[in-house]
Structures are given as C-alpha cells and as structure tokens.
Structure 1
C-alpha cells in the first residue's frame, strides 16, 4: 500500500521515521514516542481521531502487505512497537467503553461455565438486539449511484484484504476452535481458487463501478471511524491475549452479515448492475448463513469450553464490532440524508 497523506503531527512524524533506514540513529523515533504520548493524552475521542487512527492503521499495515518504499525491517523495530502499544492501550480502553454501551441492557453472562451451544445462544441474542442504523436497508431502497461508490470505498479498507486479520488467530488456537476457524477461512480464501477469494470478488465489484480496486487506493478518502473498524480487527488479531476477542468479532460478524448482504445486492441490482457486481454480496448471503453456525458454536463456543476465562473477551470482541459498526453506519446515514459525502475527499475514477 502507498504511504497515505498525513493528517496531523503524529502521522507526519511517523512517515518521516519510516522514510529512514531502520538502522539509522533513533532520535526521530524517540521524538515520535514523546509526540504520540502527548497527542494520545490530549485527544478526547481516540476512535474518531483522524491523525491517530491513520498512524495506527499504518503501523499495523507493516504486518500485512507493508507500505511502498518502507523497509520491511521496520516491522519488528522495538521502538516502533512501543509507539504502537502507546496507542493501543487507550484505543482498547475506548473500545471496551463503547462495547459496554453497545451491550445496553443485554444481560451478559459473567464467570459462568458455558457450553459451546450456550455461548452461541448468547452471541445470537446479541446479534438479534443490534438495533443500530441500517445502512443495508438504505442501500437497498434509496442509495444513489455515488453513495453506492462511497459505500464500496469505506468497505474496501477491509474487504480487499478480507479474512486476513482473523487469520492471525489460527496459530493461537488449538483443537475444535482451530479447525472451525480454518474451515471458515478456507472458504473466505476461495477454497484454493484465487478468483473465488472474497477479496477478489469484492475487487470485481469495485471494477464494475469504475473504482480503483488496488488495496489502499482510497485510504486518504475514508474518515477515522472507517480506519478504526479495521484497526479493531488488527488489535485483536495481532495480540495473542485478545484471541478470545477476535473469535467473538468474527462470530458476530458472520451472524449479522447474511441479511444485510441480501439488501446490498438488491441495492446494486436496483441500479441495473448484474452478477459481475452483485456476486460478492450474493456469495455472502449463502456463505455467512453457514459460517454463523460454525463461528458461534465451534469457534467461539469451542474456545470458551476449552478456556472458560476467555468468555469476557469473546463478548468484548462481539460487542465492540457492534459499537464501531453502529458508529460508522450513523456517520454514513447522517451524511447521505443531509445530502453530503461521507468521505473526506472526492473519489476519482480508476485509471
């Protein structure tokens, strides 16, 4: 992915550090650490902080496809990991607060020894009480062509690398939950056929609307909350202590996906698009109806049966994704209903 445009002092300082050789003197790295400490302490909303979320997104990107022109040797530079952890702590605290609010009056079990079926029932209950704003219904009934493009741009920050953040959990699990995750991920990656990888299907949808389908092409256009939704996955996937959270995240993701994807597909069909564009959404209607059972019972439920102490983190992962998705949905709908763009910058057509 190309290095994005800066959004403030933190991303500016970070990109200056990454432009250097990893074996260069570390004075700039120490200055970055001090700067981040100050900015994190001062921000009143770390989830919506454009500068900090972009910096965290790019720090995580070093563990994925990397950044163009940035040495891969930066990936495990201890000073850079310290900077990342400086952001992760307050970010996780904000996510936990948002997750608790998203759970509302839902009675979350605490300290109980639950069977895998009981865990799945709790997660299905959470999914059923998610009453956040419905972008999928808006897309199905009202979204303009430009709004459909914006919708794809927001989703592209994750969908063009779909499944990767959850895959970090595979070596951190064993037995039944590991087998369940591998089964889900094999499907996400196309069952060995690259053209059927879900990221490839999404890229085809973007091409159908004249959008650039290269990963990260629109990183400058999306707001902080879109980056935060991806950063949540990376936080949980890259930290072994949060393996429960990443399984809960995936479980609720699958449980709340099938019907919305049906609506999304209908919205694109309403504008005259055919199977080349809608196949991504149609595929998820069927696939996620199967995945939700595997993710709820065998993955999340199996993990809690094996490690009961991880129940709280499984529920945190599930409610955190609900909280961030509701916040992103509210941003999209409030922008569109006011006749405004939901993006930070206009989206150019693909070259």
Structure 2
C-alpha cells in the first residue's frame, strides 16, 4: 500500500522513521529515532481520551499494515522491530481499554445463562440476542432508498480499507484455535477466499464493485480520505486477530459480522440497482446475502460456541468482540448519516477532493 499522508505528530514520526530506510543494528541514529518516537507516543497518549483520533488510528493502521501487505518502499524488517512492537503496544493498549469501556454496557446487559458452561447453543443464543438489537441509524436502509451516486461511492471508499483485504484479520486466529472452532473458521474463510478461485475472492469482488462505479479498486488508494472511525473499525480487527489472548474477541467479532450481514447486503445491492448499476457492481453484495445466511450459523454455534465450549473462560471476550462491532458500527453509521443529512461529505474534508481524482 502507498505510504499515507501523516495526520499528526505520531503518524508523522512513524512514517518518517520507516520510510527513512531499513532498521539499524540497534545503535546510532536509527535507535535514537525509535526511542524518540516511543517517548513522543508515551507523552501524547497520556492525554488522549477519545481514541477515535486521526493521528492515533492512522499510526496504528500503518503499524498493523506491516503485518499484511506492507507499505510501499518500507523495508520488511520493520515488521518485527522490537522498538516498533513496543510503540504498537503503547497505542493499542489504550485503544483496547477504550473499546472495552465502549462495549461494557452492552455486554453487561446480555442475559447470561444460569449454568457456568453455556455451551455452543447457549453462546450462539447470546450472540443472536446482541445481533438483534437496534444499533442506531441504518446506513443500509438509506443506501437502499435515498443515497445518491456520490454517497454510494463514499460508502465504498470507507469500506475499502477492510473489504479489499477481507478475511485477512480473522485469518490470524486460525493457528490460535483448535478442534471445532478451528474447523468452523477455516470453513468460513475458505468461502471468503473464493474456494480456491481468485476471481471469487470477496476482496476481488469488492474491487470490481469499486471499478464498476468509477473508483480505483487498488488497495489503499483512498487511505488519505477515510476518517478515523473507518480506520478504527479495521484496527479493531487487527488488534483482536494479532493478539492470541484476544482469540475470543476475534471469534465474537466474526460471529457478529456474519450474523448482521445478510440483510444489510441485500439492501446495499438494492440501492445500487436503484441507481442503475448492474450485476458487475452488485455481485459482491448479492454473494454475501446467501453466504452470510449460512455463515451466521457456523460462526455463532461452531466458531464462537465451539470455542466457549472448549474454553468457558473466553465467553466474556467473545461477547466483548461482538459488542465492540456494534459500538463501532453505530459510531460509523452516525458519522455517515450526520454528514449526509447535513449535505456534507463523510470523507476527510481537507482531502475529499482526492477521492474523485
């Protein structure tokens, strides 16, 4: 992915560091630069309360991206540089705490089973209860009924930071699981990756949706226009997927995604059809209507439920991961609808013009 434009001192320091060449041997100017960035992050994070912050989320996104496809021109040896791992930890620890605080009231309101071991069906029932709650303004209904072509393209741009690498954050969990939960996750991911057919990979299908509407379908093309809330949604998945101790959260996250996806994707497809777009554009959404109707049962009962059945202590983290999806999605929906209801772009105002260039 291209190196994004900095959005504050943390992301600026990080980008300058990794774009400046390969990491040194642990001494000299390179080590001093890492140490200086670490001190800056420690100082800045001590005063941050709302973690939906452009500078913080972009820095986290770039650090996580080193574990995916990397950043253009950045030496791959930065991926596991101890200094950068420490800086990532300084950023993701308060982000996780903030997510837990956001999701806390939701998870506390779930009716827990009387028995200590809820089992797979009991876990799935809790997740379906969460999935059935009203999460605030509905972007999918707006897309189906009212959205303009410009708003549809904005919607795709927001989603592209995840959809163009769809499934990758959840795949990190495969080696962290075993038995029934592992088999369930592999079954879901096989579909996400097209069952061995590159053209059927969901990320490839989303790229065709973008190009079919006149957008650039290459990964990261719009990184400079997506706001912090869109980055936070993807960073949350990377946080859960890359940390083994949060394997319950990534399982709950994927279960909630699958349980709440089928109907919205049907409405998204209808919205694009309403404005005259054909199957080349709507195929991605139509595929998810059918696939996610099956995946929701596998994810709820076999993935999340199977994990809790094997490791009952992970129930709280499964519910946390699921509730965090709802909280972030509600904030994202509010961001979009507030902008669109006011006649504004939902992309970063100072950079929005680049999205159409």
TM-score, normalised to structure 1, is 0.97
- Give the structure 1 partner of residue 10 of structure 2: 10
Which of 203, 225, 232 lines up with 1:221 in the alignment? Answer: 225
Q: Distance in 1 between matches of 2:148 and 2:105?
A: 32
Kept in 2: contact 1:212–1:350 (CA 8 A): no
Is the Cα contact below 8 Å between 2:272 and 2:282 reproduced in 1?
yes
Alignment of 1:42 with 2:42, yes or no, is no
CA contact (8 A) 2:107 2:320 kept: no
Partner of residue 318 from structure 2, selected from 311, 314, 321: 314
Query: In structure 2, do the counterparts of structure 1 residues 229 and 109 end up closer, same or farther at CA, with 3 Å as the change threshold?
Result: farther
Contact 2:225 2:354 in 1 (8 A): no
The answer for the alignment partner of 2:23 in structure 1 is 22
Q: How big is the shift at 1:237?
A: 0.1
State the partner residue of 1:293. Answer: 297
Structure 2 CA distance for partners of 1:201 and 1:350, relative to 1, 3 Å:
farther
Residue 139 of structure 1 is matched in structure 2 by 143
Distance in 2 between the 1:74 and 1:296 partners? 37
Task: Tell me which residue corresponds to 2:120.
Answer: 116
- 1:317 to partner: Cα distance: 0.3
Deviation at 1:130, TM superposition (A): 3.3
Q: Deviation per CA, 1:14-45, whole angstroms, max 9, x where unpaired?
A: 01110232116310100000100111111121
Please say if 1:277 is aligned against 2:277.
Answer: no
Say if 2:113 and 2:122, in contact at 8 Å, map to a contact too: no
1:1-351 paired onto structure 2 within 5 Å:
1-20=1-20, 21-23=22-24, 25=28, 26-46=31-51, 48-103=52-107, 105-108=109-112, 112-344=116-348, 345-348=351-354
The separation in 1 between residues aligned to 2:262 and 2:237, in whole angstroms, is: 20
> CA, structure 1 residues 264+219, in 2 after alignment: closer, same or farther (shift >3 Å)?
same
Query: Where has structure 1 moved over 6 Å in runs of 4 or more?
Result: none
Residues 130 and 322, structure 1, Cα contact 8 Å, conserved in 2: no
* C-alpha distance in 2 between matches for 1:257 and 1:101: 23
Flag structure 2 segments of 5+ consecutive residues without an equivalent: none
Structure 1 residue 180: deviation in Å? 0.3
**Structure 1 residues 179-188 or 107-116, which shifts more?**
107-116
Moved more, 104-113 or 328-337: 104-113
Q: Tell me the CA shift for residue 100 of structure 1.
A: 1.5
Cα separation, 1, equivalents of 2:88 and 2:205? 32
Q: Following TM superposition, by how much is the alpha carbon of 1:82 offset from its aligned partner in structure 2, in angstroms?
A: 0.2
**Maintained 8 Å contact 1:111/1:309:** no
| Aligned mates of 2:183, 2:7 — CA distance in 1 | 41
SS of structure 1 residue aligned to 2:352:
coil
Secondary structure of 1:106 counterpart: coil
Measured after TM superposition, the shift of residue 102 of structure 1 is 3.8
Match of 1:42, SS state, is coil
CA contact (8 A) 2:66 2:79 kept: yes
Does the 8 Å CA contact 1:177/1:302 hold for their aligned counterparts? yes
**Residue 109 to residue 79, structure 1, CA distance change in 2 (3 Å):** farther
SS at match of 1:211: coil
How many aligned residue pairs are there? Answer: 350
Structure 2 Cα separation of the partners of residues 167 and 320 of structure 1: 19
CA contact (8 A) 2:252 2:321 kept: yes
